[in-house]
Amino acid sequence: MSFFYKYFFILIFLLLSIPVYAEYLTLDSHIDIPFDYMDNPKHDPGNSTEMQVDFSKMETGGLDSGFFIVYVGQSNLTDEGFKKAKEQAMLKFSAIHKMLQKYPDKILPALEPDDIRKAKEKGKISAAIGIENGYILGNNINLLEDFYDLGARYMTLAHIGHNQISDSSIPKKSLNDPLEMHGGLSIFGKQVISKMNELGIMVDISHVSDKAALQAIQLSEAPVIASHSSARAIANHPRNLPDNIIKEIANNSGVIQVVAFSSYVEINKERNNAINSLRKFIVNLTGDKVFIYRKHTENPQYKIKMDEINRDFPLPSVDQFIDHLDYIVNLVGIDYVGISSDFGGGGGIDGWMDASQTKNITSALLKRGYSKNDIKKIWSENFLRVWTDVTNHSKKKSKQNLSD
């Protein structure tokens, strides 16, 4: 009898545990990929890898979907710089398409919100595409149509460093950036936002200056997103959003995707100083001129010394991450907040270091007292609502143009 009851209770426990996570459609709005994604077996998500996101980790952690990011770093605003940026962007578009073509039994493309829901119903994961840094457009606004056709459904207007579209929240020292270049958005940047609205590409104001963010929200005819930003009131970092911008995003029916990037979750000067010193050490060790994230973070010495830094100056916790979410909910309500990891681009906190630990976020939300409906909104429904609104606005605008 004891044997029977032992396994009976184990079975009951397992049956009760499954719905706690399976009933939520989990969407991570920002997952970075390397330039050799799919070409290098170490960066093929169908394999067991050291990447923070691969298929097995997504399945273990219950992560259903993600925006895989076409990111290109900021460089000179020249024809040569624009040409190289476009070439680098095409490598990442191609890599994401290779992933989808190679593993149709595992992962499905998401070109509209319902694709993510349908993939979940089929028991598969899904991938949407976002662009990080409008620099890749150069001065050719028509490239937006090409990128939309390739699957891009949001675009971060800028990154670290001012570009031809927008001022950045962090000027780039290596490019001798002034504090401001455009006083927010450029004339071209305003045209880009109008074109994004027309096509149905979500306007992402993460990374841009406060002036540029407010101008973009005011100018956009559709809701905007902050694809990976947290609350400046909790962690005073220029990459985080101040209260007035959070309120404006909400007033515009947009969404703020709180990001699990340690420096944005918690300001820890000693940790930041240690990391900066490590980066200088690795640059000198390799003979490079600047720190190259993808290359240098894979250096064995970097990994050893980062373990030491994490021991001496611990990463912020999942609870601290949820504090940012709580703050935004208390400020503007439950309908305007979501979740992003920035995995592959520096993201990771204690308790959510890779996709396999995604369930820890859901558990933390439940412990904070969020209802199941609230958690569904946070994990995906808020973001999908915005995406739907942007898509519907585009369709409406298209019909108007045809009738004119």
Q: List the pLDDT tens digit at each of the 404 positions of the chain.
A: 454 444 554 444 444 444 456 789 999 999 999 999 999 999 999 999 999 999 999 999 999 999 999 999 999 999 999 999 999 999 999 999 999 999 999 999 999 999 999 999 999 999 999 999 999 999 999 999 999 999 999 999 999 999 999 999 999 999 999 999 999 999 999 999 999 999 999 999 999 999 999 999 999 999 999 999 999 999 999 999 999 999 999 999 999 999 999 999 999 999 989 999 999 998 898 888 888 877 888 889 898 998 999 899 999 999 999 999 999 999 999 999 999 999 999 999 999 999 999 999 999 999 999 999 999 999 999 999 999 999 999 999 888 877 76
Residues 91 and 152 occupy one common structural domain? yes
Amino acid making up residue 326: D
Residue 10: inside a domain: no
- The reply to whether 154 and 280 lie within a common domain is no
Is 13 part of a structural domain of the chain? Answer: no
From residue 116, how far is each of 18, 69, 95, 120, 131 by CA, in Å? 20, 16, 20, 6, 18
Check whether residue 257 and residue 333 sit in a common domain.
yes
The answer to whether residues 279 and 143 belong to one domain is no
Task: State the sign of the Cα–Cα–Cα–Cα dihedral 237, 243, 248, 252.
Answer: positive
Mark whether 178 and 280 lie in a shared domain.
no
Q: Are residues 155 and 242 in the same domain?
A: yes
Pairing state between β 202-204 and 255-259: unpaired
Domain assignment present for 106:
yes
Residue 50 lies in a domain: no
- Is 81 exposed, middle or buried (CB count within 10 Å of its CB: 0-12, 13-18, 19+)? middle
pLDDT at position 404 is 62
The residue whose two tokens read 């455009």 is 182
Q: Which CATH number belongs to the domain containing residue 351 in this structure?
A: 3.20.20.140
**Do the beta carbons of residue 27 and residue 380 sit within 8 Å?**
yes
Among 145, 171, 174, smallest CA distance to 158 is for 171
User: How many other CB atoms are there within 10 angstroms of residue 236's CB atom?
Assistant: 10
Does 249 lie in the same domain as 201? yes
Same domain, 293 and 156: no
Compute the C-alpha angle 60/64/68, nearest 5°. 105
Q: Is residue 5 part of a domain?
A: no
Residue where one domain finishes, among candidates 285, 312, 339: 312
CB contact set of 253 (below 8 Å; sequence gap of 6+): 223, 336, 385, 386, 389
The region, left, alpha or beta by phi > 0 then psi within -120 to 50, assigned to residue 88 is alpha
**Are 127 and 66 within 8 A, CB to CB?**
yes
Radius of gyration of the chain (CA): 21
pLDDT at 197: 98
Question: Within 13 Å and on the Cβ side, how many CA atoms surround 28?
Answer: 35
Query: With contact defined as beta carbons under 8 Å apart, do 210 and 242 qualify?
Result: yes
The answer to whether residue 1 sits within a structural domain is: no
Domains: count for the chain: 2
Of 128, 148, 129, 127, nearest to 137 by C-alpha is: 148
**Within this chain, do residues 73 and 135 fall inside the same structural domain, yes or no?**
yes
* Sequence-distant (≥ 6) Cβ neighbours of residue 117 within 8 angstroms: 25, 384
Which of 294, 312, 330 corresponds to the end of one domain? Answer: 312
| Residue closest to 128 by CA, chosen among 105, 148, 103 | 148
Tell me if 321 sits within 8 A of 367, measured CB to CB. Answer: no
User: Do 84 and 157 fall within a single domain?
Assistant: yes
**Do 89 and 76 lie in a common domain?**
yes
Query: Residue 220: which domain range?
Result: 28-37+57-265+319-403
Whether residue 307 sits in one domain with residue 206: no
> Which of 76, 31, 72 has the alpha carbon at shortest distance from 55?
31
One DSSP character per residue, 327-373 reads HHHHHH-GGGEEEE--BTTT-BBBTBSSGGGTHHHHHHHHHTT--HH
Question: What pTM did the predictor assign?
Answer: 0.92
